[in-house]
Amino acid sequence: MLSAIARGGDGPGFLWLDESAFHPSRILVRVRPETFADRAPAQIAGLDFGDPVAGMPGLRRVRISQPADVETALRAYRADPAVVSAFPDYRIQATSLPNDPRFFRQWALDNRDPSVGTNDADIDAVEAWNTTTGSDSVVIAVIDTGVDYRHRDLAGNIWTNPGEIAGNGLDDDGNGYVDDVHGYDFLNGDGDPMDDDGHGTHVAGTIAAVGNNGRGVAGINWNASIMALKFLGADGSGYASDAIEAIRYATENGAHVINASWGSRTHDPAMKSAIDAFPGPFVAAAGNYGWNVNEKGYAGSFYQFYPAEYRSANIIAVAATDSKDRLASWSNFGVASVDLAAPGVDIFNTNVGGGYAMKSGTSMAAPHVAGVAGLLYSLDPTMPAAEVRDLILSTVDPLDDLAGKTVTGGRLNAARAVSAQSNHAPSAADDASAATDESSPILIDVLGNDRDEDGDLLGLQAVDPASRLGAAVTVYSQGSIAYDPTASATLQGLRNGETLVDTFRYTVTDGRGGVDSAAVSVTVRGLDDLQAVVEFSDSFELSEWNGLWVEDSQNDWFRSNQRAADGSRSAEIDGAARGATLTMARPLDLGGAVAATLTYSWFVEGNWDSEDSIALDIYAGAKWRLDVRTLRGDTAAENVWIEESVDLTSYLAGDFRLRFRAAVNDAREDGNVDNVKIVSMSRNGVGQTSLPPPADRQDSGRRAVPFDEDRLAAVWQALAAGEAPAKKTAPDRTREKPSTALEALDLVYRLL
């Protein structure tokens, strides 16, 4: 046996403000009249204050020059002292409430009375009616206890067999059933499916009580055609064979949807076959036993309930919720097989005999889903069952109380379902392209040629993949993508003039579930990069000269631990000397560099006089340049380390050497040199040197150093201008910024 599953004036329209949608190129601005009167619109912070809104003092309608950049415009206007407020021009839609006088009792369709339940714990039927209120061309079969087809709130939405003549005792359409004008009574074998219980009439009213007729209640479909198929008796029970025949009748006579608010624990393969053969959604009540149908009971068998539990592709199994969005305590559930929930507690609707009644059960929940399926078919009667099912299940409102208890974890939402079905997806154009160089981030507007048939405001979703070449990509929802090539090692390795094309895809959304994707291409060009290259470095901390220096025959230079600019060692001239030299052992070839700088520190004791000196000589162009720098006694700071910096740009051609030459009168007079370093500037780090670093040196030899762009520019400008810093005392190592551009070159290297 199969059992039914049950327990137990003119309304004005209203306006619905959609805060997620607003005009993409217009905002509303309210100004202070006293401030605004003193200034012409064009004079206010460069902002255009548009046109006044008639009858609204101070309110002005402003058109934005950059469409879709509403947030930026709002910030600009809100910052102006003449502005009281600025806000989007929101889209407002008229929403019609039905004028059925008992609609207020139908919390499942519009739940806003706090004495009844939780605000919006409903299926959003009112919002769905902005899109469709149904169509009488959509046929919904109610296989139940019959339907009171004479009920004044149902009669206008009862299906009539177009091929049958009522009361003539003939099978006019040849379908095997006599006088099946509004359906058929399979229990009694006649053409009169009149309800003698009330269950089927209540189900039919939920699906399609005539809406906005000034009488009683409103169905989810104000317009539809209810096919009444009776197989359950007044006691609420019937036989599987009659149910199977009713399903076949609905299949053969054009029903779009079947509602089945009944079931049993018996698996019947013949019934499953009949359901599988039906081309539309088969909406089944999950049952009222409070079972988890995916768990085994005390006897080791599952608490299964059919037909809801059949694994048929077109079945939608429905649990019941109350007016506070809680799963009804008596409702069956199951995360693997009960698809969603719908309102099923204290549902007010039509009853047999022309009246109305309140009923509870998953029997009352299922017709809410069948009704929404009817709305979807009113928009497109050709949709396959799988698409209708997917639209309903993918647009539920997630509820905590349903998590882990139904497949979707959510409750039916009619508005979201019909919005998703009626929506046309946007069209994204594969035309976004841009060009930049390896060091310049750019902003790409990708929505310029993207279109939406419905006029929806388009936005961006995530990029996938973010970037094929590793650039940083940031998506802004209003239509722009920030592309930063500096994050890509591949792009930073481009040589001057070399190009690579980076491609990635973005997704555009219309905010109503419609998406499309398109490609973006960015051509990135390599620059003539400069890198700092350490050509030579010695702080005299290791063994004496270490193959980097040679002395003349006087041998008056030695590695001293008496003092150092930093560390513990330096080169020292000690004793009477006449032109004693300390010379680089081997020449450098700086021909691959575009600029170079020599830095070093030196020191003289306080007893030096003006005839005592240390000189820097440079060998380039096959000859020595004497006294490029000279440190003398009496005329320079004594007993303090002095740091020097020498521009070597004019010495780049041919072999390059430097030497320190000392002239000292008294063996008691000492001078020191420390931290000798030569740094060149080379394109893409390609320099030349003939002086490989010795194996035991830790601080000499060429090293390419990544160079900060801002400091690089400063150094390059200084070198081009021939700038050189004056002599100065030892630098403060804690400072963060160099005092001159040339000093920046040295500081960058030391801070790396």
Which residues are the active-site residues? 144, 199, 363
What are the C-alpha distances in Å from 169 to residues 175, 177, 180, 181? 14, 10, 10, 11
Secondary structure (DSSP) of 307-342: TTTS--TTEEEEEEE-TTS-B-TT--B-TTT--EEE
DSSP letter assigned to residue 551: E
Residue 597 structure tokens: 């700088």
The DSSP symbol for 360 reads B
CA distance 440 to 524: 9
Q: Would you say 501 and 718 are in contact if contact means Cβ atoms under 8 Å apart?
A: no
Q: Could you tell me which residues are beta bridge partners of residue 645?
A: 599
Q: Phi then psi for 487, rounded to 5 degrees?
A: -85, -5
Rounded CA separation 664/671 (Å): 9
Kind plus residue range of the DSSP H or E element containing 385: helix 385-394
Buried (b) or exposed (e) across 60-88, using 16+ Cβ within 10 A? Answer: bbbebeebbbbeebbebbeebebbeebeb
C-alpha angle with apex 211: 281 to 250, nearest 5 degrees? 30
* Sign of the dihedral through C-alpha 301, 306, 311, 315: negative
- Give the position of tokens 């839609």: 93
Asked if 267 and 273 touch (Cβ cutoff 8 Å), the reply is: no
Q: How far is CA 205 from CA 213, 235, 237, 357, 567, in A?
A: 13, 20, 21, 11, 94
Give the Cα separation of 108 and 125 in Å (integer).
Answer: 8
Using the Cα atoms of residue 619, residue 625, residue 631 and residue 636 in order, give the sign of their dihedral. negative
The 8-class DSSP code of residue 38 comes to T
Q: How far apart are CA 451 and CA 434, in angstroms?
A: 20
Picking from 678, 739, 677, 737, the residue whose alpha carbon sits closest to that of residue 708 is: 737
User: In terms of DSSP bridges, do strands 557-560 and 728-729 run parallel, antiparallel, or are they unpaired?
Assistant: unpaired
Three-state DSSP at 689 gives coil
Strands 480-484 and 499-509 come out as unpaired
- What's the rounded Cα separation, in Å, for the pair 411 and 421? 18
SS3 per residue for 126-171: HHHCCCCCEEEEEEEEEEECCCCCCCCCCHHHECCCCCCCCCCCCC
